[in-house]
Amino acid sequence: MRTAAMRATVYLDPELHKALRLKAVETSQSVSKLVNDAIKEALAEDAEDIASFAERAGEPLVKYDEMIKKLKKDGRI
């Protein structure tokens, strides 16, 4: 069941707003749909990150300086 849309006031940088309006026109979508889609995507990425952290919770911690040394030794940096 779909709920009614909620109205919110969001203050955007003028250049971002201009780009958003242009994209809306170019893609035949509303600004609201573009904003909602972007928020959904950002929240989904956060959920993926949280799941990844949970999966790796049991892994041993590695000190930063030890990791840098290992990366240099392996020729990665």
Domain boundaries, the chain: 14-73
- The predicted pLDDT at position 4 comes to 87
With contact defined as beta carbons under 8 Å apart, do 53 and 47 qualify?
no
Amino acid identity for residue 30 in this structure: S
Q: First vs last Cα of the chain: how many Å apart? A: 52
1 has a pLDDT exceeding 80: no
CB proximity list for 21: less than 8 A, separation 6 or greater: 31
With contact defined as beta carbons under 8 Å apart, do 31 and 20 qualify?
yes
Tens of pLDDT, residue by residue over 9-64, are: 999 999 999 999 999 999 999 999 999 999 999 999 999 999 998 999 899 999 99
User: Which pTM was predicted?
Assistant: 0.66
d(CA 69, CA 77) in angstroms, rounded, equals: 9
With contact defined as beta carbons under 8 Å apart, do 39 and 8 qualify?
no
Continuous segment of H or E residues that includes residue 50: helix 31-55
